[in-house]
C-alpha cells in the first residue's frame, strides 16, 4: 500500500485557520481539496488534533505560571520563564496536570545554574533538595506518580484519550483573553459548532 503524501506545512496552517474561522469539517475539506486533492476528513482531524495538543500545552504552561505568580519559584524573579514538567511530557497521564509543573527561570531550567532541573548530576540533586525543602507537597506528588510509566507513542495524537484533550480545551475556552495573550482566540461558539466528540473520536 502506497504511503500517503505528506501534508505541506502551508496546508496544515490553512486547515487550522479555517477551523478557527468557524468552519465545520466538510466545509474545510471542500476548500482544502482544491489545493490538496487527496485530503481526507481523517487527515483533517489529525491536523486539528495536533493543533489542539498545542493549545493544551500552552494552557498548561500558562496555568502553571499563573499559579506560581508569574515568577521563578527559585529566584522569585519574572522575565523569561519556562514551565517545567517534573514527569516527562511524553507521559500523557500527567502532561497537562498542573501538579506536574513548576515555573523556572531559564538558568534554573536548562542553562546550567547552580540549581537546575536539567544538567549535571550535582545540579539536578540540588534541584531535588530544593523541591523537597520548599515544595514538599508537590514533591510528594511527584514521588507518588513518577513510576507510572504509561505512555502513548509519540507521533500518534489520534490515540490520546479524548477526555484529556476535551478537559484541557474546556478550561482553555473559559480563560480570560488576557491570560492567553490574545493568541488562538478560539471562541466558544466554534467549539460548540465543531463537536469535539466528532473531531476526537
Per the prediction, the chain carries an average pLDDT of: 78
Please compute the mean of the pLDDT values over residues 49-75 and round it to a whole number: 85
pLDDT at 199: 42
Q: Tens digits of per-residue pLDDT, 170-189? A: 655 555 444 444 444 344 33
pLDDT at residue 104, as a whole number:
96
- Give the residue, 169 or 159, on which the prediction is more confident: 169
Q: For position 169, what pLDDT does the model report?
A: 61
Interval 55-84 mean pLDDT: 88
Confidence of residue 168 (pLDDT cuts 50, 70, 90): low
Residue 196 predicted with pLDDT over 80: no
Residue 119 exposure: Cα atoms within 13 Å on the Cβ side: 19
Average pLDDT over residues 40-68: 85
Note the pLDDT tens digit of each residue in 74-111: 999 998 999 999 999 888 778 888 899 999 999 899 87
Q: Is the pTM of this model over 0.75?
A: no
User: pLDDT, tens digit, for every residue of 133-146?
Assistant: 999 999 999 999 99
CB contact set of 38 (below 8 Å; sequence gap of 6+): 4, 5
pLDDT: which is higher, 154 or 70: 70
Percent of the chain with pLDDT over 70: 71
pLDDT of residue 173: 54
- Which of 40-44, 72-76, 187-191 shows the lowest per-residue confidence on average (mean pLDDT)? 187-191
CA distances from residue 23 to 16, 19, 26, 177, 192 in whole angstroms, order as listed: 10, 5, 8, 22, 12
Amino acid at each position: 500500500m502506497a504511503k500517503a503524501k505528506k501534508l505541506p506545512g502551508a496546508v496544515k496552517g490553512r486547515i487550522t485557520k479555517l477551523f478557527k474561522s468557524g468552519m465545520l469539517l466538510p466545509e474545510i475539506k471542500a476548500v482544502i481539496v482544491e489545493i490538496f486533492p487527496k485530503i481526507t476528513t481523517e487527515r483533517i482531524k489529525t491536523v486539528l488534533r495536533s493543533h489542539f495538543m498545542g493549545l493544551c500545552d500552552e494552557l498548561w504552561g500558562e496555568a502553571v505560571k499563573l499559579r506560581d505568580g508569574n515568577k521563578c519559584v527559585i529566584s522569585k524573579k519574572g522575565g523569561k520563564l519556562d514551565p517545567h514538567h517534573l514527569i516527562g511530557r511524553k507521559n500523557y497521564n500527567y502532561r497537562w496536570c498542573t501538579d506536574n509543573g513548576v515555573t523556572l527561570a531559564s538558568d534554573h531550567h536548562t542553562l546550567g545554574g547552580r540549581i537546575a532541573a536539567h544538567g549535571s548530576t550535582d545540579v539536578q540533586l540540588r534541584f531535588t533538595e530544593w523541591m523537597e525543602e520548599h515544595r514538599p507537597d508537590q514533591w510528594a506528588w511527584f514521588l507518588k506518580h513518577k513510576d507510572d510509566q504509561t505512555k502513548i507513542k509519540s507521533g500518534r495524537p489520534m490515540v490520546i484519550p479524548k477526555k484529556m484533550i476535551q478537559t484541557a480545551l474546556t478550561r482553555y475556552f473559559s480563560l480570560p483573553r488576557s491570560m492567553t495573550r490574545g493568541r488562538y482566540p478560539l471562541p466558544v461558539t466554534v467549539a460548540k459548532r465543531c463537536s469535539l466528540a466528532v473531531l476526537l473520536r
